[in-house]
Amino acid sequence: MVNTAEDFCQLQIEQGNYELAAKSAEQELKLLHPKHPLCVYFVCILMQAYFMEGQQDRADNQFTRCLEIIDFGLGPHHPLHINVYAIMA
């Protein structure tokens, strides 16, 4: 059962529906302030979707965007950085 937009996006990534995951994440990002910490989750979804579709440049851009959001809202030494680097790795 899908309970949230985050769950839906993650499920689409796991099922290989990268285009749907990216579209859903983009829709959710429109509802949030661009630097809100919750954006990190949806930007990571975009990062994964683009990477799996072979769009490395777009994935790299989302990676940088994630780090900027974390730095802005949570600080440069927040442990969430580790998760973002792990996803990109």
Distance from C-alpha of 42 to C-alpha of 37, rounded to nearest angstrom:
10
Is residue 2 scored above 70 in pLDDT?
A: no
Tens digits of residue pLDDT in 29-85: 999 999 999 999 999 999 999 999 999 999 999 999 999 999 999 999 999 999 999
Both tokens assigned to 17: 């529906």
* Number of residues written out for the chain: 89
Is pTM beyond 0.85? Reply is yes
When pLDDT is cut at 50, 70 and 90, the band that residue 15 belongs to is very high
Distance from chain centroid for Cα 79: 16
Distance from C-alpha of 55 to C-alpha of 35, rounded to nearest angstrom:
24
> What pLDDT sits at residue 18?
97
> How big is the chain by its Cα radius of gyration, in Å?
12
- Domains by residue range for the chain, with CATH: 5-88 (1.25.40.10)
